[in-house]
Every structure is written in structure tokens, then in C-alpha cells.
Amino acid sequence: MNIQVISRPFVFALASIVVLFVAAYFLPLNKINWGKFQLVNNTITVSGYSKSQEKNEIARYTAGVSAVNDNKDTAVSEVNDKIEKIIADAKNFGIKPDDIKTQNVSIYQMEEQYYEEGISKSRKGQWRVDNSIELVLRDIGGASALTDLLSASEATNFYGPSFSVDDTTQAEAKLIEAAMENAKSKAEIIAKASGRKLGKIISVTEGGVSPVNYMYGAEGMGGGGGAPVESGTSTVSKTVTVTFEIL
């Protein structure tokens, strides 16, 4: 009689195969999220950066009016009248209706503190009303004049001009190309230092265009000729993240 002895490793391997077949039969494997596999030792990921100076094309202003009164309707009427006057002056200056936008309107009753028999208490007080608008000036040659106009208006506060590039489309193509070259240069240096060679591009993730604006601000300024305003330029930047194969 021949007796065959089956080793434990063989039994374990056989059992594992049976389990896999059972799992494949009963489980919807195509619906399981296996995650992302990446050969880390064969790839390198770097960031590329580029920037340029672009001439500013537009200027933005924010003008606000506030009023405080015991009567809510009186406060609302006062604010509305002043805002309407500022809007009318802006249109007469040359600001188009599409470039005038309400930013914020708030109406609330303030609390006031008082003491009664040495105890601090609060009660409803006066009404405060706020309204602010944004103006976009597309002919930035008039920035100084519009600044003077808003300074002399009945605006309680105003901020601007905030200069920026209106359209960065033309700059984007060059910025992306330069950022890709920057990423490739970094990757080549790292690969060479590791004794490897740079291969093909595996993936590219593009970052946003980031303009940096300059703002001139004022609050409660009086009128007076020719505010010194320079439009200057904005720094526009682009970032890409690139994964390369290394050989």
C-alpha cells in the first residue's frame, strides 16, 4: 500500500486557492475599490512655477453708506438717498450699469446697556442701516478722478482702487509652458543625482492663475485735488505638478 503524506504548506496553499474561488463567485469584485497603485520607486513628482508681470487693466472700488437713527424708516431712507446719489454720480462719470453691483445691505437694531439699581441690563436701541456697492472702472486712466469723486461723496467709507488684470487668457499659455520647463528642470536634477534618467510624463496637475492686486484705500477722506494713484502691474503666476517616469 502506498501512503502519500501531504505537507502542511501544500494544504495551506490549496485552502487559499479554494477561498479565492469562493470569493470570486460570491463577491462583486468589479465593484470593489482597489485604490490607486503607483510604482513610487520608478516615478518622481515635482512642482513647476512661473510668473510674469502684466499691466493692470481695471480698477475696483467699494463705496458704503451707514446711518444710525431712532426710527428705522428714517435711517433706511437716508442710506438709500445717499447710495442712489453715489450710483448716479458714478454713471455720469462713465461707469456702466453692468459694472455697478450691490455688495451688502444690512438693517438691524442695536442693543444699548444701562444700569438699574446697580445691575447691568440691555434694551433695544437705535437702528443701524448699511449699504455698500462695488464699482468697476475699465478706463483706469480715470482712477485718480474717480477716487476724488468718491472722496467728496457722501459715502461713509470707500476702498479702492484695487487694480487687477481683467483677462489672463493670453498670459496663461506662456505661463504653463514655462512652469512645465521649470518642473522638468527640477526633475532632471533630482534624477541625475539619484543615478537615474528622466522618462516620459505620467501625469500633470494644473494649478490656478494667481494675480496679486494692489489696493489704495481710504475711509472718511475729504475731497481735494488729484489723489496720487498709479495703476502699475500685477504679478500673475501659474503652478503645475508633474509626475515623471524615471529609468
Q: Where are the domains of the chain?
A: 59-166
Question: Where does the pLDDT of residue 6 fall: very low under 50, low under 70, confident under 90, or very high at 90 and above?
Answer: very low
Residue 209 has pLDDT above 80, yes or no: no
pLDDT per position as a tens digit, 44-97: 899 999 999 888 999 999 999 999 999 999 999 999 999 999 999 999 999 999
Q: Virtual CA dihedral for 196, 200, 206, 209, nearest 10 degrees? A: 80
**Looking at the predicted structure, is the pLDDT value of residue 218 above 60?**
no
For the chain, give the mean pLDDT.
80
Smallest Cα–Cα separation from 161: which of 55, 63, 52, 53?
63
Count the Cβ atoms, other than its own, within 10 Å of residue 86.
22
Q: What is the pLDDT of residue 40?
A: 53
**CA-based R_g, the chain, Å:** 33
Dihedral (CA of 196, 201, 207, 210) sign:
positive
Which grid cell is 166? 481683467
* Residue 233: band (very low, low, confident or very high) from pLDDT cuts 50, 70, 90: confident
Instruction: Compute the distance between CA of residue 217 and CA of residue 222 in angstroms, rounded to an integer.
Output: 13
**Looking at domain 59-166, which CATH architecture does it have?**
2-Layer Sandwich (3.30)
- pTM (2 d.p.): 0.63
